[in-house]
Chain A
Amino acid sequence: MDKKDRLKLVHWVVDTARKKGADDASVTFSYERDISVSHRDGELEELSESTSNSLGLAIYANSKYSSHSTNDLRKDNLQKFIEEAVAMTKYLSKDEYRTLPDPKYYDYDENIDLDINDKSYSRIDSDRRVDIAKKIEETTHKKDKRIISCTAGYGDNHFETIRVRSNGFEGVNEGTVFYAGVEVTIQDDDGGRPQDWSYATVRHFKDLPEVEYFAEEAIRRARSKLGQTKIESGRYDMILENRNAGRLIYALYGPLQASSIQQKQSFLEGKKGERVGSEKLTIVDDPLIKQGLGSRLYDSDCIAAKKRVMIDKGILKDYYVDWYYGRKLGMEPTSGSRSNMVFGYGDKSMDDIIRGTGKGILVTGFIGGNSNSTTGDFSYGIIGSYVEDGKIIKPVNEMNISGNLSELMMSLTEMGNDPYEYSSMKSPTMLFKDVYFSGI
């Protein structure tokens, strides 16, 4: 099937659903090609290559709603699939809020080029893929004699998503993703085998970092864990490294969603216009960044994408409101899901921030933990380094941070100038004052 065939099929599904009794239908067809390679300890380890298709169908019939997905695209089976999908919907309760969005929200700007589809994708052959993984692995392995094992990988993905809504939307989104990385385990004298990794994901092949970057970063990180121990419980400044800050910020994402608010599971309910963090906390959702990993012209409701300030200098400005929960809450839809998250950045590097810290813990990784979106309570395991008088003193592990997100966000005192590049969550290094760490 080529793109034309897929589009034809999608329209056929929409028409068939309506013929069978749906008032409205929404159909999404995803096509993906995934190729990945890994190389471990001098040998090609895994080679994987496949194509997947998936057809998603949502039925709106007589104020009732259901959704369905299948990858069995044989026409007879699809016909039956659609009939049963419509028939099944009848058994559900009416829900007047379930409709397709008002088409006025569909009006996205077709002329914007997000530049997320790398045309050079088709020119990358299998040998090249294997070669990248192999070079990263070999380069890393040479860095340290204490390496027990080292696995490097490369992969790419080409996708095309077609969305058609029976009340007047059609859109095709095509793009590419390339990623490479390495993980390395080294022997510690105390019997431990600390592991760390470096990894990069980009939209354009040419933007993958050099082999040396992966090798250097992974080995530096793994070495920094040698001899790690837990230290005394107490209050320390927390310097949160950019690549891990996303995990903590993610705890705010659930409570910012209209679904959580409507279900009374958000500690941020009713806080619009109020202070939810310190002056330093600014979060912007920007779907229109060129080559961004979260970039898009419209979301899964097909609502045209717009840049939105979510939190401005600590004041809550907006929620993530999808069409359905927006109607339930009587709120204007924004988007039910995040795209690229960008922050209000400061002017210091992570090293500058460390230099300015009297007694702190540099957190370089989280392990487990969770947060409660209803109350904002959280507790996470951490790995990192103890910092004293502006210097990294020793590696720490086996400690927890616990508290409430409202309080933690108020203690944010510094944002770095270093947004993490390889994620749609472009968090910088963040400094929080006086966070309670439990250890010994």
Chain B
Amino acid sequence: MYQIDRRKFIKTGLSGLALAAVPLVFKLDPSKAFAAPGGNGMLKDYYRHFEVDESTIRKIMSIALDKGGDYCDLYFQHRIGNWIGLEDKTVNQAYTTIDYGVGIRVVKGEQTGYSFTEEITPKAMELAAKTAANIANEAKNIAPVELTYHKTPNYYPIKTIWEDVGIDRKIPYLQKINDRMFDKDNRVIKSQIWFSNSSDYILIATSDGKIVHDYRPMASIYCSCTAEENGKREQNGFTLSARQGMEYFTPENLNYLADEAVRRTVNLFKAVKPEGGEMPVVLEAGRSGILLHEAIGHGMEADFNRKGISIYADKMNKKVAEDFVSIVDDGTNLNERGSINVDDEANDTEKTFLVRDGVLRSYLHDRISANYYKVNPTGNGRRQSFRHMPMPRMRNTYMLPGPHKRDEIIESVKNGLYAEAFSNGEVHIGAGDFTFYVKSGYLIENGKLTKPVKDINIIGNGPEVLTRVEMVADDLKLAESGGTCGKNGQWAPVSLGLPTIKVSSITVGGIS
């Protein structure tokens, strides 16, 4: 998967707009970071790119810790994002964004001082370090130690970095999807197709002596479809998203995207609203993992637990579900949207068991909470950008396969709901109440999927619903579209997964 040629690092600018026939101005080849001798071949390039060196970083760290902070880190980031959009059958809009800067954080116990600067100069960094230092107010002074390069694995190998893919290569993809959608069904009246990709170049230095860099690619195509039948309109959409390169968008994937967007839309013409109330719900394998994200994932983020405000704060090592239920949060899945080679505090990522064989096993930690609980960090310290302080966040959250079969699960339900597509969810972590919005699904009547249903919210209580996971199939699937998770005003890409499961009873929105 790696390219062999070492790309030339041309440092004449940083704009990095991906366009054809114009020389590229910023390129770091991520693959080389792992091929180079000693593994730190790219470190020099990252230093040069951000116009810093080890001695400057250590000087800034000394200033940051000058007022008695226990720990500090510097998070350098350069994000280059491209977006193109098809509307009314032509690709007539494009948007590019560049974000560049360094965040400086000082930690003292559970306290945090934070500042960032978009100008990476010693003077601007000193000022930011002094601001962040103010969280502490003590005479003691911990000196930063020598930085050692920390090698990471690569969970998102790609063939070509996005800065090498011109807009002219992407445009035909959108046109193909559009044509297929209109060919597929004559009820289609509008499509909107959005192609977005980004590259994040990240360099993290910590006062306990780690220096690490990461290249994080991301690509998504979102496809919206509006259709009309007998004067009635419906709209729906489908997304493919992953830490991938252009090669991810194979003809098969593009066709699938177009077909799913159309199928999910025209299906809604036949859709009814179920009668609201408590009923058994079967969740389709894949993006139904939104259930785990809301019902248990957020509640297991350690910041909510060290503060005592999560419903799970007193449930560690207790039985919370049937023996065949195991739930993980995993940063290591190849090319998944929520995977990270290293977290945003320079800690290694891993596959963390929230629930193993029905028993609650681990919270999701950042550095502050790992310190608080005196456990190893789990690699969940993430942040939206250099403008934000890290906190425990999910990565790819999914349930491991269980002993049942999909068909037997559906057959076991007399009257219930089969949920297939989801838009959004929310949780109140103290009360444990959570919801997720079912964009489409089916009624289950006498063990069979019957009428399609649409636009209903499902609401439940996290710990209660976990105990009601009655059956788990062997068909685990991760969401093809992943998701974007919001917490305390910060957004993070994540993914979700689930085998087909049955929840014996949960409140479904609906009509009388």
Residue of chain B at shortest CB distance from A52:
B118
Q: Given A264-B233, A380-B457, A72 and B118 touching (CB < 8 A)?
A: yes
Interface size of A by CB at 8 A reads 86
Majority secondary structure, A binding face: strand
Which of B21, B192, B234, B512 has the most chain A CB within a 10 Å cutoff? Answer: B512
Q: Which residues of chain A have C-beta atoms less than 8 A from B12's C-beta?
A: 76, 80
Give Cα A361–Cα B415 distance, bound, in whole angstroms: 28
Contact of A47 among B114, B387, B429 (CB under 8 A): B114
Which one, B19, B387, B437, contacts A52 given CB within 8 A?
Answer: B387
B407 at interface, CB cutoff 8 A: no
Q: Does A43 contact B (CB under 8 A)?
A: yes
**Which of A65, A76, A98, A264 sits near B190, CB closer than 8 Å?**
A264
The closest CB in chain A to the CB of B17 belongs to A84
- Out of B14, B25, B234, which one reaches A375, CB within 8 Å? B234
Residues of B within 8 Å of A80, CB to CB, are 12-13, 15, 25
Chain A nearest Cβ from B264, distance in angstroms: 13
**Which stretch of A173-181, A285-293, A365-373, A422-430 is in the interface?**
A365-373
Decide yes or no whether A242 CB sits under 8 A from chain B.
no
How many Å from the CB of B430 to the closest CB on chain A? 4
Select which of A195, A374, A400 is within 8 A of B457 by beta carbon. A400
* Range for the number of chain B residues in contact with chain A: 35 or more
A164 within 8 A of B: no
**Complex: A51 Cα to B101 Cα, angstroms:** 11
Query: Which B residues are in CB contact (< 8 Å) with A139?
Result: none
Contact B110 A43 (CB under 8 A): yes
Is A148 touching B278 in the complex (CB atoms < 8 A)?
Answer: no
Residues of A within 8 A of B14 (CB): 72, 77
Which one, A47, A50, A151, A400, contacts B459 given CB within 8 A? A400
Contact of B93 with A66 in the complex, beta carbons under 8 Å: yes
Q: Is the CB of B168 within 8 A of A91?
A: yes
Interface pair A149/B307, CB less than 8 Å apart: yes
- Closest B residue to A48 using CB positions: B114
Which residues of chain B come closer than 8 Å to A69, judged between CB atoms? 95-98
B114 touches A436 (CB 8 A): no
Question: How far does the Cβ of B206 sit from chain A's closest Cβ, in whole Å?
Answer: 19
* Contacts A52-B118, A81-B15, A398-B461 given; does A68 touch B95 at CB 8 Å: yes
Partner of A192, one of B128, B311, B389: B311
Q: Collect the chain A residues with CB atoms within 8 Å of residue B128's CB.
A: 50
Residues from 217 to 253 in A contacting B, C-beta threshold 8 Å: 225, 228, 230, 233-235
Partner of A195, one of B94, B190, B309, B425: B309
**Separation in Å of the A394 CB from the closest CB of chain B?**
15
Q: Is B339 an interface residue (CB 8 A)?
A: no
Contact call A402/B431, Cβ cutoff below 8 A: no
Residues 112-154 (chain A) with a chain B CB within 8 angstroms: 126, 148-149, 151
Is B309 a contact partner of A185 (Cβ separation < 8 A)?
yes
Q: B interface vs A, CB < 8 Å? A: 12-15, 17, 19-22, 25, 84, 87-88, 90-101, 110-118, 128, 131-132, 134-135, 166-168, 171, 189-190, 192, 226, 228, 233-235, 273, 276-278, 294, 307-311, 313-314, 387, 389, 423-437, 454-461, 507-512
Besides A65-B93, A88-B17, A368-B426, 4 new A-B residue pairs in contact (Cβ under 8 A), listed by A number: A368-B436, A381-B426, A402-B456, A402-B509
Binding site for B on A (CB under 8 A): 40-41, 43-53, 64-73, 76-77, 80-81, 83-85, 87-89, 91-95, 98, 126, 148-149, 151, 185, 191-195, 225, 228, 230, 233-235, 263-265, 328, 367-375, 377-381, 383, 397-403, 436-440
Closest 9 CB pairs of A and B: A438-B276, A368-B435, A400-B509, A193-B430, A368-B426, A93-B90, A80-B13, A379-B457, A88-B19
**A-B pairs with beta carbons under 8 Å apart, 14 shown:** A49-B115, A50-B114, A76-B12, A80-B25, A88-B94, A92-B92, A92-B94, A263-B87, A263-B190, A265-B233, A370-B423, A377-B273, A381-B433, A400-B457
